[in-house]
A and B are shown apart, each in its own frame.
Chain A
């Protein structure tokens, strides 16, 4: 029987994949993809908690996460295009222009 723990384990796995991507990646577009993975993992956990505790609040939080993800992509892609126009590349290391 599939319980809450199964869903939470899958959600934790997906979140770890996203986190590994965020830590490992150096390309800004790939970093954005990894962020989306992490947001989706959180959504699964919320929906599972909502189902197994018989509470709609979890689904509400998932809706707001979807809204936040949509606006994050809109603003983030705008910034990415600006960075690409300025530098001609999307590499994170090229953004480190301040030598301390």
Chain B
């Protein structure tokens, strides 16, 4: 009973919050709705007995990823509404509907072919984080190490990409672009005179 109430609450909350994220004009609203939706999604994981995954979702997504987005948004002007030239919406509806149909078929395929055998069933009598650790560090050790290497590469890439010209204020950039364009114009005029 409570499981059903929780499921319907979490699904309604995630759908509404993510709709706000996908269709809001304000970056700040979109980011807040996304963070709240991530919290609600971790509720699904706790319902599904994936305690460790839920905790990871809270720490990594709501903690790290959202903090990173909030940090990145300090570079951009978050108070302005986003102006977008949108394509005709019937095309979007058609493409989205077709993709949704394709998704339903893809999700229905494993249910139709139901002769699936569990390769790593959870061990009886121990908690979820413990059994996750047992499987992760035996059967999935090499993917785990590769993921660690990938995170290291991503960290170096992030530092190098964002760290360039950190001493220049971003608010001056637009003026700089305007000035350099003017300089180019005057150079072109000089070339024309010659």
Q: Interface size class for chain A?
A: 35 or more
Q: Are A40 and B38 in contact (CB under 8 A)?
A: yes
Across the interface, B158 reaches (CB within 8 A) one of A1, A15, A47, A77, namely A77
Name the distance in Å between A54's Cβ and chain B's nearest Cβ: 5
Main DSSP-derived SS at the B contact region? helix
Shortest Cβ distance from B134 into A: residue: A56
Name the distance in Å between B102's Cβ and chain A's nearest Cβ: 10
A18-B18, A48-B48, A55-B118 in contact; A12/B100 too (CB < 8 A)?
Answer: yes
Per-position 1/0 for B52-90, Cβ under 8 A of A = 110011001100110011011101100000111111010
Residues from chain B with a CB closer than 8 A to the CB of A5 are: 111
Name the distance in Å between B64's Cβ and chain A's nearest Cβ: 6
Name the distance in Å between B41's Cβ and chain A's nearest Cβ: 5
Residues from chain B with a CB closer than 8 A to the CB of A81 are: 72, 75, 161-162
A15-B103, A81-B72, A84-B170 in contact; A66/B111 too (CB < 8 A)?
Answer: no
Per-position 1/0 for B131-165, Cβ under 8 A of A = 11001100110010001001101110111111011
* CA–CA, A57 and B138, complex, Å: 12
7 A-B residue pairs with Cβ-Cβ distance under 8 Å, sorted by A, are A12-B103, A24-B87, A24-B89, A33-B31, A43-B53, A66-B60, A85-B170
**Which A residues lie at the B interface, using CB under 8 A?**
1-2, 4-8, 10-21, 23-27, 29-30, 32-34, 36-37, 40, 43-45, 47-51, 53-57, 59-60, 62-64, 66-75, 77-82, 84-85, 87-88, 90-91, 93
